[in-house]
């Protein structure tokens, strides 16, 4: 009989005074076993029809936005475009549940969420167009620049949310991360800081199944990504990312949870990237047409339209009106991207520091002389 | 370890302080003057920092403004980015040079670039304090000179004080800067003592001639300044009158002061603890050569740490530039021609 085989019983010795932190019951933090759904469930009857119609119009707009941005990329108007086609419910809901003074922290696939915050497409897509690294005024739109290094924006969201609370503002920050991003150290550090500080922040993980080509099974052995919350003492929620009503409900609750001082929330939205990683990627190398077809059936736009039609909440005229608004957006995008962006080479030196260093002044003079010589040669 | 707490230095009043106390006083004065300034890092609160630079700040300003963070440098600096976006002015302590590396991605990809990528709309006034350099008998990972990594990164200011007065004045300037500043504190000078008279906050980026001389010019900064001053004293006995320039700021670099000081003697040696290959000395020697070529009687030489991982404490004296190695370099400045 080894020591390990001994029957375990209560120890007679008492723990010294606790310097090791409180022990908490993990049960209230655990996500549901299955992704939360509303559409096609009995609970859907209680949903506000106007909210559903609004979500529908926004999804139609979002789908058209993704299509137009992809077309612009094929025409050479964008350097690269990581489409969020299939993830529009996540994108739209993330923006819709925030107040104007809340902050959004997007990554590169989240320009639709940025547009849904009220940023013009031409500004939201500036990074991907390639004429500048960033387009919109982050403070005016309470929307941070697109973060390309994965999950590095998550600690920013924590810090901003904490700072807002220190200043007495009931502002919430929402950080968008992908399934691949949850493997990054910054994701871990952000969740840990958020838990310790009790910061009013919501992390939305759009689990679209792939980090470029690597499937989730090679990314994480966690029961679900939402379970990761428990290790940080924060609440985890699991939701169907292709159910716009469920996304809106869960995120609304998460934001209110954070705003009311009950701590951060990690939401995992199970969704699917219907297109390749970007226009430069070939998704047929790592996933089958059958898999994609199956997810087309769960297309968030189709799911919502089926629901609206089945419940007589929208008619052909409503569908046509949504499509018309989407065409207007596409036309605006074509018009804005048709003209060449204005480029000023000397602007390269203007915002490295508040005041250029003497060295940068010298280098700016060098470039100015090159430009003058180019102009003379013309 | 003695406490770093010192009475707040009233502008114009002369007090005798260690560099650690001067840094502590600078933090306290900045926090008193500006409610958006907050200090954050590992052990900075209750303990007052492992070097006691933040001693007493939590007691005076509360745990929210002197924040003990989890042990995660990317999280510390990443959170500071978000705080700065919301209008705060964080002063981050990264506990030791070699423990700052986990924050590298935040520093290079966000802190250094945010002003630039947002065309000036999102400046990040963050001060990142890092105790650096050797000479205190620290075991592995406690003695790195990492300044070249930071100086190689556009968007960061890189400062390092070498005197008690600069410990106060340059840290105040760093905190007042609207740009991110990597503030490298020579940990072996923490206990150096001097009388200081705090004045108005000076602009950053100027070098100072610490010792006038006519024979050759030593260009140095941070922990190597006292070594160079000592070398200059010894050299006097050997008939050399050495000038010593304290660079203070690696970015921006004060070409004007350095160029004038080298032209005045026609000979120059760059001295630093950091490894030589690709180190700051390489950049400085190149800049001096480009600007002073026709004034030079000899190639610009470098006296630096060897190109090795930082040695164990019992061997570090062989690695660090000392008086003899500096004087050997001075002797090689082609005096015969």
Q: What SS3 string covers A9-72?
A: CCCCCCCCCCCCCCCCCCHHHCCCCCCECCCCCHHHHHCCHHHHHHHHHHHHHHHHHHHHHHHH
Residues B167 and B229 in one domain: no
- Judge whether B134 and B212 are in contact, CB under 8 Å: no
Would strands B15-18 and B193-196 be described as parallel, antiparallel, or unpaired? Answer: antiparallel
Above pLDDT 90, what percent of chain A?
92
pLDDT at B11: 61
Mean pLDDT score, A163-178: 98
Domain-embedded: residue B319: yes
Question: Do residues B230 and B305 share a domain?
Answer: yes
Tell me the C-alpha to C-alpha distance, in Å, between residue A368 and each of A346, B120, B253, B279.
7, 21, 22, 30
Interface with A, mutate which of B41, B68, B76, B82 (most A CBs under 10 A): B82
Looking at the DSSP assignment, which residues form a beta bridge with residue B181? Answer: B127, B157
The pLDDT tens digits for B284-321 are: 999 999 999 999 999 999 999 999 999 999 999 999 99
Pairing of strands B37-41, B89-93: parallel
Cβ atoms within 10 Å, residue B50: 17
Residue B92 within any structural domain of the chain: yes
pLDDT digits (tens, 9 = 90+) for A69-97: 999 999 999 999 999 999 999 999 999 99
Q: B113 and B135 in one domain?
A: yes
User: What is the pLDDT at residue B2?
Assistant: 43
Q: Give the model confidence (pLDDT) of A272-284 as tens digits.
A: 999 999 988 999 9
Q: Is A231 on the interface with B (CB under 8 A)?
A: no
* A194 shares contact with chain B (CB less than 8 Å): no
Cα–Cα separations (whole angstroms), residue B333 to B219, B272, B273, B275, B300: 14, 18, 21, 21, 8
**Rounded CA separation B244/A98 (Å):** 58
pLDDT for A14: 76
Sign of the dihedral through C-alpha B290, B292, B296, B298: negative
Q: What is the 3-state secondary structure (H, E, C) of chain A?
A: CCHHHCCCCCCCCCCCCCCCCCCCCCHHHCCCCCCECCCCCHHHHHCCHHHHHHHHHHHHHHHHHHHHHHHHHHCCCCCCCCCCCCCHHHHHHHHHCCCCCCEEECECCCHHHHHHCCCCHHHHCHHHHCCCCCCCCHHHHCECCCECCCCCHHHHHHHHHHHHHHCCCCCCEEEEEECHHHHCHHHHHHHHHHHHHCCCEEEEEEECCEECCEEHHHCCCCCCHHHHHHHHCCEEEEEECCCHHHHHHHHHHHHHHHHCCCCCEEEEEECCCCCCCCCCCCHHHCCCHHHHHHHHHCCHHHHHHHHHHHCCCCCHHHHHHHHHHHHHHHHHHHHHHHCCCCCCHHHHHCCCCCCCCHHHHHHHHHHHHHHHHHHHHC
Kindly state whether B256 is in contact with chain A, defined as any CB-CB distance less than 8 angstroms: yes
Q: Is it the case that residue A19 has pLDDT exceeding 90?
A: no
Question: What does the pLDDT average to over A220-240?
Answer: 97
Query: Does residue B182 fall inside a structural domain?
Result: yes
Whole-number CA gyration radius for chain A: 24
> Is residue B87 located within the same domain as residue B25?
yes
All residues of chain B having their beta carbon less than 8 Å from the beta carbon of residue A201 are: none
The reply to whether residue B81 touches residue A137, judged by beta carbons under 8 angstroms, is: no
Lookup: tokens for A41: 């469930």
Q: Are residues B323 and B281 in the same domain?
A: yes
- Residue B157 among the catalytic residues: no
A237-291 pLDDT per residue, tens:
999 999 999 999 999 999 999 999 999 999 999 999 999 999 889 999 999 999 9
Instruction: State which of B166, B196, B226 marks the end of a domain.
Output: B196
Residues of chain B under the 70 pLDDT cut? 1-11, 337
Residue B311 lies in a domain: yes
- Contact status of B64 with chain A (Cβ, < 8 Å): yes
Residues 6+ apart with CB under 8 A from B77: A155, B92, B94, B103, B106, B107, B111, B126, B128
Q: Is residue B7 part of a domain?
A: no
Rounded to the nearest 10 degrees, what angle do helices B225-237 and B323-331 cross at? Answer: 60
Query: For position B1, what pLDDT does the model report?
Result: 38
Which CATH number characterizes residue B242's domain? 3.40.50.920
Sign of CA dihedral B202, B204, B206, B212: positive
- The verdict on B183 and B49 lying in the same domain is yes
d(CA B336, CA B326): 18
Closest CA to B213 of B181, B235, B191: B235
Rounded CA-CA distance A256/A253 in Å is: 5
Which CATH number belongs to the domain containing residue B144 in this structure?
A: 3.40.50.970
* B58 plus B89 within the same structural domain: yes
Q: How many domains does chain B have?
A: 2
Q: Which two tokens stand for residue A52?
A: 């559903």
> What is the rounded average pLDDT of the residues A2-13?
70
Closest CA to A190 of B67, B86, B79, B100: B79
Q: Tell me how far apart the alpha carbons of residues A68 and A326 are, in angstroms, rounded to a whole number.
A: 10
Domain-terminating residue out of B176, B196, B216? B196
Topology annotation, domain A27-338: Rossmann fold (3.40.50)
- Whole-number Å distance between alpha carbons of B29 and B87: 19
pLDDT at B199: 85
B277 plus B155 within the same structural domain: no
What's the whole-number mean pLDDT along residues A308-324?
A: 96
Nearest-CA distance B18 → chain A (Å): 31
| Joined tokens for residue A35 | 């992704």
Query: Is B249 within 8 Å of B278 (Cβ atoms)?
Result: no
Same domain? For B264 and B214 the reply is yes
B196, B230, B255 - which closes a domain? B196
CA distance to A18, A104, A126, A223, B225, per residue, from A119 (Å): 50, 12, 11, 37, 52
Select from B294, B144, B134, B289 the least CA-distant residue to B224.
Answer: B134
Residues of A annotated as catalytic are: 273, 277, 286
**Cα(B262)–Cα(A374) distance, integer angstroms:** 37
Please indicate, yes or no, whether residues B226 and B313 belong to a single structural domain of this protein.
yes
Residues B84 and B187 in one domain: yes
DSSP B238-254: TT--EEEEE--EEETT-
The answer to whether B117 contacts chain A (CB < 8 Å) is yes
Which residues 262-321 of B are in CB contact (within 8 Å) with A?
A: none
**Domain of residue B226, residue span:** 208-331
Q: Give the DSSP per-residue string, B114-170.
A: HHHHTTTSS----EEEEEE-S-S---TTSS---HHHHHTSTT-EEE---SHHHHHHH
Q: Is B145 exposed, middle or buried (0-12, 13-18, 19+ CB in 10 A)?
A: buried
Residue A11 has a pLDDT of: 73
Q: What ranges in chain B are assigned the alpha helix state H?
A: 19-33, 57-61, 73-85, 104-105, 114-117, 147-151, 164-176, 225-237, 255-265, 280-292, 316-319, 323-331
Torsion, CA A35, CA A37, CA A41, CA A42, rounded to 10: 110
pLDDT tens for A21-78 read: 767 899 999 999 999 999 999 999 899 999 999 999 999 999 999 999 999 999 999 9
Q: Considering chain A, what is the average pLDDT of its residues?
A: 95
% pLDDT > 70, chain B:
96
Q: Is residue B47 part of a domain?
A: yes
Measure the CA–CA gap between B216 and B209, rounded to whole angstroms: 13
Chain A residues inside the 8 Å CB shell of B75: 155, 158, 186, 189-190, 192-193
Q: Are residues B236 and B189 located together in one domain of the fold?
A: no
Minimal CA–CA distance to B109: which of B84, B73, B81, B146? B81
Q: Name B46's bridge partners.
A: none
Does residue B10 sit within a domain? no
Annotated catalytic residue, options B142, B157, B272, B319: B142
Q: Cβ contacts (< 8 Å) between A152 and chain B: which residues?
A: 74, 78, 105-106, 109-110
Alpha carbons B335 and A122: distance in angstroms, whole number? 65
- A87-116 residues touching B, CB cutoff 8 A: 103
Q: Please, which residues bridge with residue B194 across strands?
A: B17
């Amino acid at each position: 009989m080894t020591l390990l085989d001994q029957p375990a019983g209560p120890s007679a010795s008492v723990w010294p005074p606790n310097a090791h932190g409180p022990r908490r019951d993990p049960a209230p933090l655990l996500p549901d076993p299955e992704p939360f759904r509303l559409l096609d469930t009995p609970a859907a009857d209680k949903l506000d029809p106007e909210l559903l119609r609004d979500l529908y119009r926004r999804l139609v707009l979002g789908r058209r936005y993704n299509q137009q941005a992809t077309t612009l990329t094929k025409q050479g108007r964008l350097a690269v475009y990581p489409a969020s086609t299939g993830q529009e419910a996540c994108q739209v809901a993330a923006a819709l549940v925030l107040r104007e003074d809340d902050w959004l922290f997007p990554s590169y696939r989240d320009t639709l969420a940025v547009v849904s915050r009220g940023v013009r497409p031409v500004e939201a897509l500036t990074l991907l167009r390639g004429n500048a690294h960033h387009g919109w005024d982050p403070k005016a739109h309470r929307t941070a620049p697109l973060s390309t290094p994965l999950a590095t924006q998550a600690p920013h969201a924590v810090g901003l949310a904490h700072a807002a609370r220190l200043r007495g503002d009931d502002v919430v920050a929402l950080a968008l991360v992908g399934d691949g991003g949850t493997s990054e150290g910054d994701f871990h550090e952000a969740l840990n800081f958020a838990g310790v500080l009790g910061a009013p922040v919501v992390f939305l993980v759009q689990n679209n199944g792939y980090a470029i080509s690597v499937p989730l099974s090679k990314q994480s052995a966690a029961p679900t990504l939402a379970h990761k919350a428990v290790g940080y003492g924060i609440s985890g929620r699991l939701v169907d990312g292709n159910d716009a009503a469920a996304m809106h409900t869960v995120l609304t609750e998460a934001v209110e949870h954070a705003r009311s001082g009950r701590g951060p929330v990690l939401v995992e939205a199970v969704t699917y990237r219907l297109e390749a990683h970007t226009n430069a990627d070939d998704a047929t190398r790592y996933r089958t047409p059958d898999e994609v077809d199956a997810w087309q059936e769960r297309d968030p736009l189709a799911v919502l339209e089926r629901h609206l039609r089945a419940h007589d909440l929208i008619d052909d005229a409503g569908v046509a009106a949504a499509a018309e608004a989407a065409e207007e957006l596409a036309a605006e995008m074509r018009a804005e991207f048709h003209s060449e962006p204005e480029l000023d080479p000397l602007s390269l030196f203007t915002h490295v520091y508040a005041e250029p260093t003497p060295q940068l002044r010298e280098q700016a003079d060098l470039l100015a002389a090159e430009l003058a010589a180019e102009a003379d040669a013309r | 370890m003695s406490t770093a707490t010192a009475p707040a230095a009233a502008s114009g009043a002369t007090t005798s302080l260690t560099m650690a106390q001067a840094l502590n006083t600078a933090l306290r004065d900045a926090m008193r003057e500006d409610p958006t300034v907050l200090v954050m890092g590992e052990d900075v609160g209750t303990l007052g920092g492992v070097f006691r630079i933040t001693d007493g700040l939590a007691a005076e300003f509360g745990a929210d403004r002197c924040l003990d963070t989890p042990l995660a440098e990317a999280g510390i600096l990443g959170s500071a980015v978000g705080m700065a976006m919301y209008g705060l002015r964080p002063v981050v302590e990264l506990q030791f040079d070699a423990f700052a590396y986990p924050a590298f991605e935040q520093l290079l990809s966000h802190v250094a670039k945010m002003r630039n990528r947002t065309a000036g709309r999102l400046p990040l006034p963050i001060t990142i304090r890092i105790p650096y350099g050797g000479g205190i008998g620290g075991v592995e990972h406690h003695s790195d000179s990492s300044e070249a990594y930071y100086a190689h990164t556009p968007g960061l200011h890189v400062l390092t004080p070498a005197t008690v007065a600069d410990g106060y004045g340059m840290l105040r300037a760093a905190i007042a800067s609207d740009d991110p500043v990597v503030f490298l504190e020579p940990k072996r000078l923490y206990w150096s003592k001097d009388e200081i008279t705090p004045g108005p906050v000076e602009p950053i980026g100027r070098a100072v001639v610490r010792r006038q001389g006519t024979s050759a010019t030593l260009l140095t900064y941070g922990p190597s300044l006292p070594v160079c001053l000592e070398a200059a004293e010894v050299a006097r006995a050997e008939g050399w009158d050495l000038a010593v320039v304290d660079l203070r700021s690696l970015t921006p670099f004060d070409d004007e002061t350095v160029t004038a000081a080298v032209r005045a003697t026609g000979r120059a040696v760059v001295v630093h603890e950091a490894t030589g290959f690709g180190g700051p000395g390489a950049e400085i020697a190149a800049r001096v050569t480009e600007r002073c070529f026709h004034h030079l009687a000899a190639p610009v030489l470098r006296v630096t740490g060897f190109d090795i991982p930082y040695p164990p404490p019992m061997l570090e004296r062989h690695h660090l530039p000392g008086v003899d190695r500096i004087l050997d370099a001075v002797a090689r400045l082609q005096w015969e021609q």
